[in-house]
């Protein structure tokens, strides 16, 4: 059943569930944060409309800087602003920032602990027709390894707005990851969002006799995880679905607690299984409580052009595949 504490969208499982691009929440959050703090500035790499920086540029033109197609410059200019009292947000496609300018992010932003927020839009395979060159599926891994970096992967547009506002209040580098396509609204304005603290979205009614496993996910694929959990519940399999919206610093206590109670873990992410959320969870459990795991995500492969939903299914990240992974990890537990 849906966790009452999560306060999720009551129409979550309806056929006409509201769909909205996650990046819209970034645009809304920028404006709200900018209204409260005049030190917030926004820089973009010639993708103002696509990254949803447009509304901020219209409302605060004196605090908006169009850098052009020069992602390395985007990062270094922001790094300078970030050590002089400003709170710069930089935005581009994730394939280009942090993809193209990773070294500048490392050396000028992270090494100096500059107060820069990096918004990577159009992340994941659901970018769709743009194909593998524009489908950033390695960005969590490359950002996670950087010292001083924090990482937020919001589940929907509402959570993206909260994450953007939260990032503006945290000192130091933050990476915000957004999908391109319209995705289901999972949360509500009342759903908790605390950086570094996971949220339980679903938990089956307790039964010691039923097989069980925990699902830990991030981003828009949490919708697929919730569909899978509902169907598994109907099949007599208990699950918990945890929204690990903060990949770094990760909520170790939530991971260990789920492992202790459910004895098996499935991680779900629209990212390579190498180096992403699944790897982060495995690192925690290898130290504190070794637990059988299965990993939903890109299996060491590039994507291709296609419709977003078709790509999610082809590359094994749909609710059907999540259900299979849960059943597989339960067998391994035995």
Domains in the chain: boundaries: 4-16+193-333, 19-184
Span 133-172, pLDDT tens digits: 999 999 999 999 999 999 999 999 999 999 999 999 999 9
Answer for the pair 217, 270: CB distance below 8 angstroms, yes or no.
no
**Dist CA 216 CA 103 (whole Å):** 30
The per-residue pLDDT for 2 is 78
Both tokens assigned to 73 = 């410059």
Q: Is 224 among the residues known to form the active site?
A: no
The CATH number of the domain covering residues in 19-184 = 3.40.50.970
Over range 283-294, report the average pLDDT.
98
The per-residue pLDDT for 3 is 82
Q: 119 vs 9, which has greater pLDDT?
A: 119
What 8-state DSSP symbol labels residue 293?
A: E
The per-residue pLDDT for 210 is 83
Q: Which residue in the block uniquely carries the two structure tokens 């039923």?
A: 210
* Protein fold of 4-16+193-333: Rossmann fold (3.40.50)
Fold match between domain 4-16+193-333 and domain 19-184: yes
Answer for the pair 202, 2: CB distance below 8 angstroms, yes or no.
yes
Which is the catalytic residue, given 28, 71, 159, 203? 71
Span 217-275, pLDDT tens digits: 999 999 999 999 999 999 999 999 999 999 999 999 999 999 999 999 999 999 999 99
Span 89-116, pLDDT tens digits: 999 999 999 999 999 999 999 999 999 9
Over range 178-205, report the average pLDDT.
95
Answer for the pair 105, 75: CB distance below 8 angstroms, yes or no.
yes
The reported pTM is: 0.96
Sorting pLDDT into bands at 50, 70 and 90, what band is 333? confident
**Dist CA 202 CA 8 (whole Å):** 10
């Amino acid at each position: 059943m849906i966790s009452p504490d999560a306060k999720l969208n009551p129409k979550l499982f309806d056929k006409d569930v509201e769909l909205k691009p996650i990046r819209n929440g970034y645009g809304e959050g920028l404006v709200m944060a900018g209204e409260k703090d005049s030190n917030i500035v926004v820089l973009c790499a010639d993708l103002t409309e696509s990254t949803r920086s447009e509304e901020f540029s219209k409302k605060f033109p004196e605090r908006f800087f169009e850098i052009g197609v020069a992602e390395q410059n985007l990062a270094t200019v922001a790094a300078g602003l970030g050590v002089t009292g400003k709170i710069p947000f930089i935005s581009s496609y994730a394939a280009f920032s942090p993809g193209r300018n990773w070294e500048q992010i490392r050396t000028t932003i992270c090494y100096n602990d500059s107060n820069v927020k990096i918004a990577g839009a159009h992340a994941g395979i659901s970018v769709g027709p743009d194909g593998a060159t524009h489908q950033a599926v390695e960005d969590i891994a490359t950002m996670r390894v950087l010292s001083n970096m924090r990482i937020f992967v919001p589940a929907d547009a509402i959570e993206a707005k909260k994450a953007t506002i939260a990032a503006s209040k945290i000192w130091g580098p933050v990476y915000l990851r957004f999908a391109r396509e319209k995705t289901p609204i999972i949360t509500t304005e009342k759903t908790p969002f605390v950086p570094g603290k996971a949220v339980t979205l679903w938990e089956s009614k307790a039964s010691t006799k039923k097989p069980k496993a925990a699902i830990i996910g991030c981003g828009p694929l949490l919708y697929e995880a919730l569909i899978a959990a509902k169907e598994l519940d109907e099949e007599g399999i208990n699950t918990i679905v945890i929204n690990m919206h903060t990949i770094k610093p990760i909520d170790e206590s939530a991971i260990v607690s789920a492992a202790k109670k459910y004895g098996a873990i499935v991680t779900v992410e629209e990212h390579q299984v190498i180096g992403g959320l699944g790897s982060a969870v495995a690192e925690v459990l290898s130290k504190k409580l070794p637990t059988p795991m299965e990993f939903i995500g890109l299996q060491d492969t590039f994507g291709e052009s296609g419709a977003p939903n078709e790509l999610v299914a082809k590359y094994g990240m749909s609710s059907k595949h999540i259900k299979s992974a849960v059943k597989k990890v339960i067998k391994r537990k035995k």
